[in-house]
């Protein structure tokens, strides 16, 4: 599997990643054995990048990935999760306290001390311009809760605004 450096993270990941929304069973039942078989098949095929979010099955997807991390500790996986959709999409909710709570929950679901990558999950446009948001994200990195952060965006304008911030390691453009 070909690898590339993931944004500004410095991490090498497979060019093909696995999006794990379906493992949350938000679109229909996905049994535990099928979810785990999917994850293991992806790793067996050379996938080293898995994308999820705290809201995919209310953490169910993250928990399956956490099991994979325990089952395959030497697989060299990088897991990106997303946060910001657990509350109404109100810029006032994008606070350091909520970020800590959301990332702590994801750390527990995944069974890790430090999240490889956390991305804001298509937040309201005003969030991209808020200095306090990036200060809070920088604090998560400084505290060791996350190794890197980025954004998942819906528009090129949002991506360009985020890229201008020095701490933003990745930009994921929504495609679904």
Catalytic residue among 56, 128, 134, 149: 56
- Is 56 a known active-site residue? yes
- 105 burial class (0-12, 13-18, 19+ CB within 10 angstroms)? middle
Name 54's Cβ contacts closer than 8 Å, sequence gap at least 6. Answer: 62, 81, 82, 83, 85, 86, 102, 105, 106, 109
Catalytic residue numbers, as ranges: 56
């Amino acid at each position: 599997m070909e690898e590339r450096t993931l944004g500004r993270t410095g991490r090498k990941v497979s060019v093909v990643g696995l999006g794990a929304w379906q493992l949350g069973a938000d679109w229909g039942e996905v049994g535990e054995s099928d979810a785990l078989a999917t994850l293991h098949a992806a790793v067996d095929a050379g996938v080293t990048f898995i994308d999820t979010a705290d809201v995919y099955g209310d953490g169910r997807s993250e928990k399956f990935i956490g099991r994979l991390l325990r089952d395959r500790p030497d697989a060299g996986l990088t897991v990106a999760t997303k946060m910001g959709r657990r509350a109404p999409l109100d810029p006032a909710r994008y606070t350091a306290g909520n970020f800590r709570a959301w990332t702590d929950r994801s750390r527990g679901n995944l069974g890790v001390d430090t999240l490889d990558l956390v991305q804001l999950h298509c937040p309201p446009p005003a969030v991209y311009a808020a200095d306090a948001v990036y200060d809070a994200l920088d604090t998560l990195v400084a505290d060791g809760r996350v190794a890197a952060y980025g954004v998942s965006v819906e528009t090129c304008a949002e991506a360009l605004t985020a890229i201008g911030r020095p701490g933003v390691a990745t930009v994921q453009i929504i495609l679904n």
